[in-house]
Amino acid sequence: MQLNAEYPIRTENLSKMYVKDKYALNNINIKIKKGVITGFLGPNGAGKTTTIKLLLGLLKPTSGSSYIFEELVKTEKAWIKKYIGYLPEFPKFPGYLTPNELLKIYGNLLGMDKRELYARIDELLNIVELEDVKNKKMKTFSKGMLQRIGIASALLNSPPLYILDEPTSGLDIYGQQLIKNIIKDLNSKGNTIFMSSHLLKEVQEICSDVIILNKGKVIWSGTIDELTHANLNINVSISVNNIDDAIKLLKGQDFIKNIEKNGNYINVFIENKEMVPDIANILVKNNFKIYEIKIESLNIEDAVLNILKGDNNEN
């Protein structure tokens, strides 16, 4: 176990088949940088949760291997999980237990000192704002409350690595903000966070790196900046007189990636905002009257969709 490993999570040709000849995960190679929040994206059924379960040793790979702090993950090496704070998507806990009892049991499994454990439970229930219900049985808890208990459970022994599967799912806006702040705080302390999410804006807000999975394969990985620069366009909507002639004129320009008519507007796709004055100049020089120019940056959702569409078209 190398807690200072450059990549706290690493996989080598990791594959999983649930059904014969049908890969849920096919030869994936990922490296998660230390001290970084990495977003794990992909459509439903892409293999995100399978990857996470393989990293935790909950599932056995069909082939390939995964490493946590350079330690080969195996089902029987349960001790590795002491270094991982895991939050599953829709965490479920025994309804007959109270949060206090549950966290004490988990603390004992983690080998925590009694005094340290009790103090930590109080602290965490305070952070996730559930101290009022710490002695109530969890069978009456809402999805959001269980998600918060899940966060408290993941943070219990302050591990250096966190694997979070859809950490804000089932939470209201306030709960989402609370969890995002906790994640940012964890990262500011040098911890590594690997999180899957459907909420791309959330990923854009808190992640530095991104891995995109589709149909069990990694189809893109890099930083958020790389993702936006490589895959995002600027959409300029222009209102002019004589739209059809203006489109003909602009179609001949090399720096314009695409152009289309959209009602009373022309949508022009370019790589960066600095090209907008050039478009305006061309139109003015050719005696067009410009009534309005709207500049719109396509967001991460468009970028990820572009990548997924590209991958689906290739297949």
Partner 1 sequence: MKIDNLFIKKLKAILLYDFYKNLRSLRILISFILVFAIGLILVYLYGDLFKKNSYVLELSVLYLGNTNIIPLLLGSLLTMDAISIEFEKGTFITLFSKPITKRFYYFGKLLSSILYLLMEILIFILTVFLISTAIFGNQSDVEISLLMLLGSIFVISFFAIFTFSISSMIKNSIASFFITFGLWLALDIGIGLYSYYKGFSTWMFLVPLFGESIIPYAIKQAYLYPNSTFKYYIYNSGMTNIQFLTLIIGVNIIYIILLLLAGYFVFLKSDIKEQ
> Which residues are at the interface with partner 1 (CB under 8 A)?
53, 56, 58-60, 75-76, 78-82, 84, 86, 88, 90-97, 101, 104-106, 108-112, 137, 150, 153
Q: Which of 211, 213, 209 is nearest to 223 (CA)?
A: 209
Burial tier of 165 (Cβ tally within 10 Å: 0-12, 13-18, 19+): buried
Specify the length of the chain in residues.
315
Smallest distance from partner 1 to CB 75, Å: 7
Pick the closer one to partner 1 by CB: 112 or 133: 112
Pick the closer one to partner 1 by CB: 135 or 264: 135
Smallest distance from partner 1 to CB 23, Å: 16
Cα(232)–Cα(297) distance, integer angstroms: 8
Q: Are 37 and 209 in contact (CB under 8 A)?
A: yes
For 79, half-sphere exposure in the C-beta direction (CA atoms, 13 angstrom radius) is 3
Residue keyed to tokens 């489109």: 247
Smallest distance from partner 1 to CB 140, Å: 13
Cα(83)–Cα(296) distance, integer angstroms: 43
Pick the closer one to partner 1 by CB: 16 or 215: 16
Number of H helices, E strands in the chain: 10, 15
Smallest distance from partner 1 to CB 114, Å: 9
For 51, half-sphere exposure in the C-beta direction (CA atoms, 13 angstrom radius) is 35
Rounded to the nearest 5 degrees, what angle is found at the Cα of 63, between the Cα atoms of 46 and 208? 45
Pick the closer one to partner 1 by CB: 39 or 88: 88
Beta bridge pairs of residue 196: 40, 165
Pick the closer one to partner 1 by CB: 9 or 84: 84
Pick the closer one to partner 1 by CB: 58 or 232: 58
Smallest distance from partner 1 to CB 166, Å: 13
Smallest distance from partner 1 to CB 164, Å: 11
